[in-house]
């Protein structure tokens, strides 16, 4: 896998003047530095939260010594697509800590931290998180701040107000702009509206990360994954901003093997100079809200209702509209899962907790609905009408997952938040994605080499989003000591769809800013995380 390296290989080196004692010394390990270069034997000396020596440090003294013989020493993993705003109530971030993740990027899919980023980031600092936190600003949050629930296109004044909020967020520390174009209010926004906002984020050196308008078939979402990828490319090409496609996938039985077509489009765009990459989680199931089963037009205002959820409820309460919606759902569900309605798992249902952990077929059985696409469509409509919920749809195949994973322009994510352990049902990706890459796709299947996988989980997202220049994403002197040490023979994800609340195993140590936060898979209750703020100059500043 070709990668862009800082140099052909980072040399073993030791500073000319060594300290009397290191804070932490990691000895006898195999260092995978993050660049994609081959592993090498070295010790790593840490002091004052930084890596200050990489090389032969035998005989050196340290307050804490970690014997990494037979283990891999690499940068702490960086997750470019998360929803970790619950860090305010769960600052330990244990699901991330237990799989070696030391930095998460929030504010994805168009929302998260709101438009007062300065205030939110100060709040994160105040809770003293265990891991490092950074954020994007969500286009959905911005549109709602300016336009409320309006579905219409923005006026010139409203667009200018939104552009101003993007600029403010970038100055307050956002690393870019995100969209959730499959969700309201993102789905109400035109491509041109997004381009206008992306241009502002680009002026400040930001990245555009997008949950596409559709990750399935044209019939399912009314737009289609192929057209949605084309839109992301167009936004990058016309605004000049680097593009990150969020949690890339081709979803639904009718879309299997379409990854080749998607990759050809991305490769062609990259050949034209579009800086477009993507992230991916290593699971065959996606997780989202029941309203995403509906085509975009169902969210348009109807008979005096505002757009979004209000419009959806108004339409399904109208017999004629309900029949039209049901017919579309019937076709879409058939394309998505055929007749295997048990593939749709219920992950969240506040109005009936008994449904959580079951599946759509079970709901249909309880309600006496036929095991047909018509019955499934009726069940989805009733779920939405009663209060909605979340689902996991196991509708991807191994060919496409591995095809996306092999490409040099794809990185790894988990697309999760920080769940309340044991409460409800969640997608297992939040507890095991990084360990699953190392166990299933490196050790067992050989889809990636260990060096390739670590590059995708460290240097690559650090370079893309601007963390590299803040000293994150490498085992290198002068960089912050975010370090993960693991056993490549035993590292393993434990979470499953039916039992998702299980921590990954095989991690000897996880260090955050030079402090040992996890040792032998045991969290030490150390809160050494920092809030990272984007520091690119204002576009009007002198060069």
Domains of the chain are 75-284+395-469 (3.20.20.140), 290-393 (no CATH)
Report the pLDDT value the prediction gives residue 104, as an integer from 0 to 100.
Answer: 98
Q: pTM of the full predicted structure? A: 0.92
Contact predicate 141/110, CB 8 Å = yes
- pLDDT value, residue 424: 83
pLDDT tens digit string along 314-344?
Answer: 999 999 999 999 998 998 888 788 889 999 9
The average pLDDT across 451-480 equals 98
Supply the pLDDT for residue 3.
44
- Which band of pLDDT confidence, cut at 50, 70 and 90, is reported for residue 7? very low
Please say whether the beta carbons of 94 and 129 come within 8 A: no
Q: What percent of the chain has pLDDT over 90?
A: 85
Q: Note the pLDDT tens digit of each residue in 477-490.
A: 999 999 999 999 99
The count of other CB atoms within 10 Å of the CB of residue 356 is 18
| Better-scored residue on pLDDT, 404 or 251 | 404
**Structural contact between residues 177 and 201, judged by C-beta atoms closer than 8 angstroms:** yes
Residue 174 pLDDT greater than 60, yes or no = yes
pLDDT at 19: 81
- 377-417: per-residue pLDDT in tens? 999 999 999 999 999 999 999 999 999 999 999 999 999 99
| 5 — pLDDT class (breaks 50, 70, 90) | very low
Report residue 192 as tokens. 């041109």
In angstroms, the CA 461 to CA 79 distance is: 8
The pLDDT of residue 9: 37
Instruction: Give Cβ neighbours of residue 1 (< 8 Å, ≥ 6 apart).
Output: 36, 406, 408, 448, 449, 452, 455
Cα(337)–Cα(334) distance, integer angstroms: 6
Residue with tokens 């799989």: 99
Q: Return the structure tokens found at 522.
A: 């045991």
- Give the residue, 18 or 231, on which the prediction is more confident: 231
Q: What pLDDT score was predicted for residue 17?
A: 59
The pLDDT tens digits of the residues spanning 66-88 come to 999 999 999 999 999 999 999 99
Give Cα 224 to chain centroid, integer Å.
21
Would you state the pLDDT for residue 543?
36
- Average pLDDT of span 363-387: 96
On the question of a cis peptide bond just before residue 185, with omega within 30 degrees of 0, the verdict is: yes
Paired with 345 in beta bridges are 359, 392
Cα separation, 95 vs 452, in Å, equals 23
Cα–Cα distance, 54 to 34 (Å, whole number): 14
Residue 188 scores a pLDDT above 90: yes
Q: How far apart are the first and last CA of the chain?
A: 36
pLDDT at 164 over 50: yes
Tell me: the pLDDT tens digits for 525-543? 999 999 999 987 666 554 3
Q: What is the mean pLDDT of residues 97-104?
A: 98
Q: What percent of the chain has pLDDT over 70?
A: 94
Mean pLDDT of the chain: 93
pLDDT at 139 over 60: yes
- Residue 283's pLDDT is 96
Tokens for 109?
Answer: 């899919």
């Amino acid at each position: 896998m070709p990668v862009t390296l800082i140099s052909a290989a980072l040399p073993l080196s030791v500073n000319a003047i060594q300290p009397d004692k290191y804070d932490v010394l990691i000895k006898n390990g195999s260092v995978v530095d993050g660049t994609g270069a081959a592993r090498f034997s070295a010790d790593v000396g840490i002091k004052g939260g930084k890596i200050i020596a990489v090389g032969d440090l035998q005989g050196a003294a340290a307050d804490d010594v970690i014997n990494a013989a037979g283990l891999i020493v690499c940068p702490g993993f960086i997750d470019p697509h998360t929803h970790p705003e619950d860090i305010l109530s769960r600052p330990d971030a244990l699901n991330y800590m237990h799989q070696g993740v030391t930095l998460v990027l929030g504010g994805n899919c168009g929302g998260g931290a709101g438009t007062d980023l300065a205030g939110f980031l100060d709040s994160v600092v105040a809770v003293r998180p265990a891991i490092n936190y950074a954020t994007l600003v969500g286009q959905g949050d911005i549109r709602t701040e300016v336009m409320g629930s309006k579905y219409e296109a923005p006026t010139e004044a409203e667009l200018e107000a939104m552009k101003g909020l993007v600029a403010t967020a970038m100055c307050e520390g956002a690393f870019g702009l995100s969209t959730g174009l499959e969700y309201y209010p993102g789905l109400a926004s035109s491509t041109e509206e997004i381009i206008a906002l992306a241009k502002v984020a680009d002026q400040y050196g930001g990245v555009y990360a997008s949950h596409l308008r559709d990750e399935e078939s044209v019939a399912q979402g009314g737009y289609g994954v192929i057209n949605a990828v084309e839109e992301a490319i167009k936004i990058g090409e016309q605004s000049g901003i680097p593009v990150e496609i969020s949690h890339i996938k081709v979803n639904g039985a009718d879309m299997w093997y379409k990854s080749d077509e998607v990759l050809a489009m991305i490769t062609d765009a990259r050949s034209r100079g579009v800086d477009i990459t993507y992230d991916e989680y290593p699971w065959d199931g996606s997780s989202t809200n029941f309203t995403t089963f509906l085509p975009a037009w169902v969210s348009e205002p109807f008979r005096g209702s505002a757009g979004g959820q209000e419009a959806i409820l108004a339409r399904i309460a109208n017999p004629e509209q309900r029949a039209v919606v049901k017919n579309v759902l019937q076709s879409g569900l058939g394309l998505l899962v055929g007749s295997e309605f048990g593939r749709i798992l219920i992950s969240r249902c506040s109005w009936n907790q008994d449904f959580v952990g079951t599946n759509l077929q079970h709901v249909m059985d309880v309600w006496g609905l036929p095991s047909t696409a018509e019955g499934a469509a009726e069940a989805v409509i009733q779920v939405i009408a009663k209060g909605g919920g979340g689902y996991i749809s196991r509708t991807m195949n191994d060919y496409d997952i591995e095809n996306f994973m092999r490409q040099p322009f794809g990185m790894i994510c988990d697309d999760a938040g920080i769940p309340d352990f044991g409460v409800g049902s969640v997608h297992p990706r939040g507890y095991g994605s990084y360990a699953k890459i190392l166990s299933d796709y490196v050790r067992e299947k050989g889809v990636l080499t260990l060096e390739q996988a670590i590059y995708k989980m460290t240097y690559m997202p650090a370079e893309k989003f601007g963390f590299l220049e803040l000293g994150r994403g490498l085992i290198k002197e002068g960089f912050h000591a975010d370090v993960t040490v693991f056993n490549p023979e035993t590292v393993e994800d434990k979470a499953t769809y039916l039992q998702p609340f299980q921590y990954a195993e095989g991690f000897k140590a996880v260090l955050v800013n030079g402090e040992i936060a996890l040792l032998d898979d045991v969290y030490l209750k150390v809160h050494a995380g920092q809030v990272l703020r984007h520091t690119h100059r204002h576009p009007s500043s002198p060069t």
